A and B are shown apart, each in its own frame.
Chain A
């Protein structure tokens, strides 16, 4: 579904991505694991078209989207949740949900969103940033569902959340998957990753160094944790 082919990116003088290639199939949940500064966030930004100095190719459903501008990638079915969750202070919860256009046939209705996430319904009139961190993450993912995106690109959704909330995010991701949405997430929490994802890419110094399945992750969890410096 998503094919990334030899993508490079730079920040000024620094080469952040040195030729990343990876594939995500329809219906899969795939995580990108790696240290801080390994290039994970940059890769996600490249996928969304937010990083300007990029080379290589990105195909979505077989069509190259590498030169499309961000709003066209969104309309093609990419749903993005940035590392700060991307909730607007000047928009209410409901406006945060309805700002993006509907891009796919499986888009959730507002009612369905509120049924699934009742807390958002309660707070629909409040400013988006008045929600707690976990609720904001919920809102950001619900927004992707409401758009009807076919792939969710989430940048470390569990970062800074308490264990209980991490579990809740895990449930949301499973809900997303159940609805046939493909997921690519950045994750440092290897244990969490192995509970929600099907496959993992280990990224280091701007390259994919290994592709792992869940069994391998469990087997090598200790080693991976050490590598990630956690």
Chain B
């Protein structure tokens, strides 16, 4: 029993990464109608940001956790202003070409500078060791990752459900054009929301640096799963994508435990099932986000 619980907890930890990435992806998709294929690249840049700041400026991981997402968020906003907003009224193929192109360029820039092998990154020493969770002991760092991402998701949820800004973001995510014609300057919100989504991806990257291999392809390998997570959660449902992140994490962990060979495809089997039974996704439009 404790073995199964431990697997579920494993799932929650990896789900933390899925949730943070899916959250940003889903807000960006809702508000701009843009599927951001570069999302994984920003996750990778987050991890590299932490590495570079430590390596060249001796900046601790804790500071990186603050600085890197802000930096990447700003870069995201610049990219949005320069390129991404032009996609809003174009054929979806351009969306793919631009964002996938950005992903490849970012990956190759990192590869030119740092090669293909992984960069070393040690976790902060205060998070070394394990904690006793009652039924089992668990690495302290990973417990931190889980608690941190749950707290952050909770905070985002509060902002989305309780504030006027949150209401505007929900409305614009669901129907951008209508919201525009109801007197809200959606475009003014698009840029910061894009930056926020990118910052979350970067934050996930910083969190990943001490426990995952830091290399140029780390985001590309992850992004496909994240797309599946967003579809499972329901396109246009911001909180659905967070919930789906944790659910997919747990399903994958259980799958890994009982049938390791299948675990890779399990996410996509789950996606196919959800699409068959609830085409709008688990938390799709019908049930949306309520205050």
Contact between chains at A88 and B181 (CB < 8 Å): no
Q: Give the Cβ gap from B116 to chain A, nearest Cβ, in Å.
A: 42
Which of B175, B177, B237 has a CB less than 8 Å from the CB of A88?
A: B175
With contacts A71-B186, A89-B286, A92-B290 known, is A48 near B181, CB below 8 A?
yes
* Shortest distance from the beta carbon of B37 to any chain A beta carbon, whole Å: 25
Q: Which residue of B lies closest to A144 (CB)?
A: B182
Contacts of B287 in A (CB 8 A): 89, 127
Closest chain-B Cβ to A130's Cβ sits at a distance in Å of: 9
Decide: A99 near B167, CB < 8 A? Known: A74-B182, A90-B237, A92-B291: yes
* Cβ contacts under 8 Å, B177 to chain A: 50, 70
Mark B175-194 against chain A: 1 for CB-CB distance below 8 A, else 0. 10111111111110000000
> When the two chains form the complex, which single residue of B175, B183, B187 contacts A86, counting CB atoms closer than 8 Å?
B175
In the complex, whether B253 has a CB less than 8 A from a CB of chain A is no
Give the residues in chain B near A98, CB-CB below 8 Å: 167
Q: Does A24 contact B (CB under 8 A)?
A: no
Query: Contact at A88–B170, with CB atoms within 8 Å?
Result: yes
Interface string of B234-247 (1 = CB under 8 A from A): 00110000000000
A71 touches B181 (CB 8 A): yes
The size bracket of the interface on B is 20 to 34
Contact indicator B285/A100 (Cβ below 8 Å): no
Q: How far is the CA of A159 from the CA of B101 in the complex (A)?
A: 45
CB nearest neighbor in A for B167: A95
Q: Is B288 an interface residue (CB 8 A)?
A: yes
Chain A contact residue count (CB 8 A cutoff): 29
In the bound complex, residues from chain B placing their C-beta under 8 Å from that of A95 are 167, 171, 291
Is the Cβ of A49 less than 8 Å from the Cβ of B173?
no
Interface string of A52-96 (1 = CB under 8 A from B): 100000000000000001110111000010100010111110010
Least Cβ–Cβ distance between A104 and chain B, in angstroms? 11
The smallest C-beta distance from B230 to any residue of chain A, in angstroms, reads 16
User: Which A residues lie within 8 Å of B53 (CB)?
Assistant: none
Known: A88-B175, A127-B290, A129-B286. A147 touches B170 (CB 8 A): no
Q: Does A101 contact B (CB under 8 A)?
A: yes
Chain A residues with CB below 8 A from B236, complex form: 90
A101 to chain B: which residues have CB within 8 Å?
Answer: 183-184
Determine whether B80 belongs to the interface, using a CB cutoff of 8 Å to chain A: no
B286 and A74 contact, CB distance less than 8 A? no
In the assembled complex, A103 has its CB within 8 A of some CB on chain B: yes
Give the Cβ gap from A194 to chain B, nearest Cβ, in Å: 29
Give the chain B neighbours of A74 by CB distance below 8 A: 181-183
Chain B residue numbers with a CB within 8 Å of A103 are 183
The reply to whether the CB of B52 lies closer than 8 angstroms to some CB of chain A is: no
Q: Is the CB of B179 within 8 A of A99?
A: yes
* Option from A80, A82, A89 in Cβ contact (under 8 Å) with B174: A89
Chain B residues near A86 (CB, 8 Å)? 175, 178, 182
Shortest beta-carbon distance, A46 to chain B, in Å?
Answer: 12
Find out whether the CB atom of B182 lies under 8 angstroms from the CB atom of A90: no
Query: Is B89 touching A52 in the complex (CB atoms < 8 A)?
Result: yes
B78 at the interface (CB under 8 A from A): no
Enumerate chain A residues within 8 angstroms of B168, measured Cβ to Cβ: 99
Which residues of chain A are within 8 angstroms of B170 by Cβ–Cβ distance?
A: 88, 90-91
For residue B69, give the distance in angstroms from its CB to the closest CB of chain A: 26
B167 near A89: Cβ-Cβ < 8 Å: no
Q: Is the CB of A91 within 8 A of B183?
A: no
Check: B143 CB closer than 8 A to any chain A CB: no
Q: Are the C-beta atoms of A90 and B173 separated by less than 8 Å?
A: yes
Interface residues of B in 28-85 (CB under 8 A from A): none
Contacts A99-B184, A129-B286 given; does A91 touch B178 at CB 8 Å: no
How distant is B256 from chain A, measured CB to nearest CB, in Å? 34
* In the bound complex, CA of A99 to CA of B186 (Å): 12
Bound state CA distance, A73 and B180, in angstroms? Answer: 10
Given the complex, which residues of A lie within 8 Å of B175, measured CB to CB? 86, 88
Asked whether any CB of chain A lies closer than 8 Å to the CB of B289, the reply is yes
Listed A/B pairs (27) with beta-carbon separation below 8 Å: A50-B181, A52-B89, A70-B180, A71-B181, A71-B185, A71-B186, A73-B181, A75-B183, A80-B181, A82-B178, A86-B182, A88-B175, A88-B178, A89-B174, A89-B288, A90-B170, A90-B237, A91-B174, A92-B290, A98-B167, A99-B182, A100-B183, A100-B184, A127-B288, A127-B290, A129-B286, A147-B182
- Give 18 A-B pairs besides A71-B180, A74-B183 with Cβ atoms closer than 8 angstroms: A50-B177, A69-B180, A70-B180, A71-B184, A71-B185, A82-B181, A86-B175, A86-B178, A90-B170, A91-B288, A95-B291, A98-B167, A100-B182, A101-B184, A103-B183, A127-B288, A127-B290, A129-B285
